[in-house]
Copies of this chain bind each other. A is one copy, B any other.
């Protein structure tokens, strides 16, 4: 993982439609070794996938909420039930196990408050939770999937 690899990552995080020729040009390489590097980055799991990003508003999914959850107990069986429960809920796009107050933080995407309420009922009926605190986003001010890769410093 050197400077050129990081350049490749930076470019592909911004635009995965970039052709190999243009990518190679931008990172200062010819096509063949550039292609080999991209392959390696994919095979070693640095680049995990290539996806299309969709505007939530355009598909009527305007409500994003962050839901902080505290577990009822901290047994392995609760964890399993939690894992199974959230697996079936497509509205949950992210799950983070947290340090501090809450045990988990969920990012939840729904159509509107009514849909969120339906989700909330399902969540609290499915799982045994000590506490659930929902915070609602009014506006997505900034959003990127690109990780802050520093090209220069390793």
* Interface residues in chain A, defined as those with a beta carbon under 8 Å from any beta carbon in chain B: 1, 6, 9, 12-17, 44-56, 58-59, 61, 64, 66, 83, 86, 90-102, 104-105, 109-110, 135-149
Contacts and interface: CB of A to CB of B under 8 A. Distances in A.
A7 to B, nearest CB: 13
A56 B94 CA distance: 15
A143 B17 contact: no
B51 A94 contact: no
Given A48-B55, A58-B45, A144 B94 contact: yes
Closest 5 CB pairs of A and B: A12-B52, A90-B148, A95-B142, A95-B141, A97-B139
Most chain B CB neighbours (cut-off 10 Å) among A100, A142, A145: A142
B59 A149 contact: yes
A92 B142 CA distance: 9
A41 B39 CA distance: 29
Contacts of A109: 147-148
Contact of A100 (B44, B136, B143): B136
Given A66-B105, A97-B139, A54 B9 contact: yes
A40 B97 CA distance: 39
A96 B139 contact: yes
A103 B58 CA distance: 25
Given A49-B53, A93-B148, A98-B136, 6 more contacts: A14-B51, A50-B51, A54-B147, A66-B105, A83-B141, A94-B140
